[in-house]
Amino acid sequence: MSQPVYKRILLKVSGEALMGVQGYGIDPVVLDRFADEIKEVHDLGVQIGIVIGGGNIFRGVDAVANGIDKVVGDQMGMLATVINALALQNILEKKGVMTRLQTAIVMEQIAEPFIRRRAIRHLEKGRVVIFAAGTGNPYFTTDTAAALRAAEIGADIILKGTRVDGIYDSDPEKKPDAVKFEQISYQDVLKLDLKVMDLTAITLCRENKLPIIVFNMNVPGNLKRIVLGENIGSKIVDTVENS
């Protein structure tokens, strides 16, 4: 059996990915499948941290457009990520995967506060650690939270699960002739203004030489294949090989 090429990963999943085809909330079928994918990788002995978005429940951008204060909208979005994290934690534990949920906003009745040393200890003990409530601050996205937590826990890589199979020079869902990048540098992502992750997240990864793989989470088995070293999706690195 092939061995994992990564010891510790940070999986970033968008809240929208949990909607499935229903357009809002959490699709139980999608949630169950994601949990199965995570369990498969966990069973390989890989240490897993997870950051999940909240866009399936509440989007701060839309709230601001409707007259809600930016800070309040972001706080509401942070709480939406906690709802998703609780759902994922529950289904993972039903499948026999021990987890810990840590939040950037203190809510001790339902989760631990984020403490870096404690998070690392949980990972070392084989628990999946789910990081919720973003960074705990407005004006930062869950992509930035993923980059921050990945750097803090010493992850080998960020795996960003999306609904497309990598990074393109334009939106492949709107432009059939969009060109896919197999590898691309942090600098080129910024220079080309590719909407992969926000500026803060990409800069943080570049400064910490933290590679990112963007892949289609909706293809069963993709997560495990990446962890076992297959070339799936698009990889963001410091310097592109053979360029």
Domains of the chain listed by start with CATH number: 8-237 (3.40.1160.10)
Residue pointed to by tokens 């910490």: 208
Determine the pLDDT at residue 243: 45
What's the CA gap between 106 and 114, in Å, rounded? 8
Q: Is there a contact between 205 and 186 (Cβ–Cβ < 8 Å)?
A: yes
How far are the Cα atoms of 47, 177, 205, 217 from residue 127, in angstroms, in the given order?
A: 7, 42, 24, 21
Determine the pLDDT at residue 240: 79
Beta bridge partners of 189: none
Determine the pLDDT at residue 59: 75
DSSP, collapsed to helix, strand or coil, labels residue 152 as helix
Q: Model's pTM, two decimal places? A: 0.94
What's the CA gap between 157 and 180, in Å, rounded? 20
Work out whether the CA dihedral 126, 117, 212, 86 comes out positive or negative. positive
> Which DSSP category does 45 fall into?
T
Residue whose C-alpha is closest to residue 148's, from 164, 163, 129, 135: 135
Q: Is there a contact between 37 and 216 (Cβ–Cβ < 8 Å)?
A: no
What tokens appear for 11 in the block? 């999986």
Per-residue confidence in pLDDT tens, the chain, 243 aa = 589 999 999 999 999 999 988 888 999 999 999 999 999 999 999 999 999 999 999 876 676 677 889 999 999 999 999 999 999 999 999 999 999 999 999 999 999 999 999 999 999 999 999 999 999 999 999 999 999 999 999 999 999 999 889 999 988 888 989 999 999 999 999 999 998 999 999 999 999 999 999 999 999 999 999 999 999 999 999 987 654
Beta bridge partners of 100: 129
Q: Is there a contact between 211 and 184 (Cβ–Cβ < 8 Å)?
A: no
What's the CA gap between 2 and 18, in Å, rounded? 29
Residue type, 28: P
Residue whose C-alpha is closest to residue 142's, from 127, 153, 151, 131: 131
Residue pointed to by tokens 């706080």: 75
What's the CA gap between 203 and 163, in Å, rounded? 23
Determine the pLDDT at residue 91: 98
Pairing mode, if any, of strands 167-168 and 234-237?
Answer: unpaired
